[in-house]
Amino acid sequence: MVDKGGGRTEQIGSVAYRALYENSPDGVLFTVPDGRVLAANPAACQILGRTEAEIRSLGRQGLADLRDERWPQVLAERERAGHARGVARMLRGDGTSIEVEMSARIFHDAGGEKRTCTIIRDVTERVTMERELRHSREQLAEAERVAQMGSWEWDLAADRVSWSDGLLELYGITRDEFDPGAATGTDERVFPEDRRRVSATLRRAIADRSAFTLEYRGVRADGRVRTLRSRGEVVVDDAGEPTRVVGIAQDITDAKLAQEALQSTSSELERRASELQELALRTGAGHEPERRAPLTSRQLEILGLVAEGLTSAEISRRLFVSEATVKWHVKQILRKTRSSNRAEAVARVLGVPR
């Protein structure tokens, strides 16, 4: 009875394993140490685009894409530990190369012979998507680096913040040094005097479910202070409740310094133009001049061209402005110099005989 029951159990187990082998969605290959294939299930034949007879005749050497440098590592791991997992390329019957995820384990059959059971799964689409995603991330990181820009996201429910590699680089910190639990705008990365304003801007944007733009000073890991411009918006769920805040930040320190330098230079030019005008009036008139509103540097430039005999149309082409703009400046020149015509204005300001 026991023998009969045991035989019955073995028979059922054999049928079950055979059904699993035949109907598994994953490919199953049984091989011997030298790489010969003893058997391949229907899924393996479908994945590799070959008949079982073709697979058995080719063996592992004919099925593996040996140009893939990952194969030696997978095989070495299997021999060392008796099992291995990995992804490597295999060749289909039509000559195409596919990415295959495999799990191999060495065992001994009833006769004590060493065998390997390898489960394979076609993951070409997944690997391709991962490769494209990695490439896109690399491109984004490069674009952020060139533009001195980074992006960030604040998960309001979890109160956690994530920064892109570009933003981490702006602040001079590594991924390991970043604290995702520090809410944007209130951590030590924002200049102390700007924290309250940044925090208020974010709270107001969340309450209004609105976009926002702000400038603030950020403190790098090396202590340097940089000026950042951040733009963002609040993301809401179907019920209109805010769930996330997303934004970008750009380092505008150099642009800010250039703008301030330009404004300073412009003011200095205006001052010098006013002094030159006063000097010209005193020199030309021979007596204390009447106080007149100083001409701007643009108006002095236009008056100089008038003195050369150019018309409004010719001046507009020379300065790349509209003729109406030139006429407006001329009108202001006549008003400021209390002149009745262009020749008189030239004589009053530049001292050219009328």
| DSSP assigned state of 250 | E
For 218-260, how does the pLDDT look when each residue is reduced to its tens digit (9 = 90+)? 898 888 898 898 989 999 888 889 999 998 888 888 767 666 6
Residue 98 pLDDT? 94
Our measurement of the distance from residue 348's CA atom to the centroid of its chain's CA atoms, rounded to an integer in Å, reads 59
CB 209 within 8 A of CB 236: yes
Residue 245 pLDDT? 92
Domain 270-350 has CATH 3.30.2010.10: no
Stated pTM of the model: 0.45
Give the DSSP per-residue string, 262-319: HHHHHHHHHHHHHHHHHHHHHHHHSSPPPP-PPPPHHHHHHHHHHHTT--HHHHHHHH
User: Do 21-122 and 134-251 have matching folds?
Assistant: yes
Q: How far is CA 11 from CA 76, 203, 229, in A?
A: 36, 70, 74
| DSSP assigned state of 82 | S
Q: Which residue, among 168, 170, 218, has the nearest Cα to 193 in the 3D structure?
A: 218
Contacts of 194 (CB under 8 A, 6+ apart): 216, 217
Contacts of 263 (CB under 8 A, 6+ apart): none
CB 229 within 8 A of CB 259: no
The fold of the 21-122 domain, in CATH, is: Beta-Lactamase (3.30.450)
* Cα–Cα dist 185/180, whole Å: 12
Q: Which residues sit opposite 245 in a β-bridge?
A: 154, 234
Residue 1 pLDDT? 38
Measure the CA angle with vertex 21, ends 4 and 34; round to 5°: 105
* Cα–Cα dist 245/202, whole Å: 9
* Cα–Cα dist 155/151, whole Å: 14
Considering the four listed CATH numbers 3.30.450.20, 3.40.190.10, 3.20.20.140, 3.30.70.1560, the one that applies to the domain covering 134-251 is 3.30.450.20
Residues in the chain predicted with pLDDT less than 50, given as ranges, are: 1-5, 184-186, 286-291, 354
- Report the amino acid identity of residue 83: H
Token output for 277:
């005008």
Instruction: Sketch the domain layout of the chain as residue ranges.
Output: 21-122, 134-251, 270-350
Contacts of 60 (CB under 8 A, 6+ apart): 31, 35, 36, 37
Residue 184 pLDDT? 47
* Cα–Cα dist 15/20, whole Å: 9
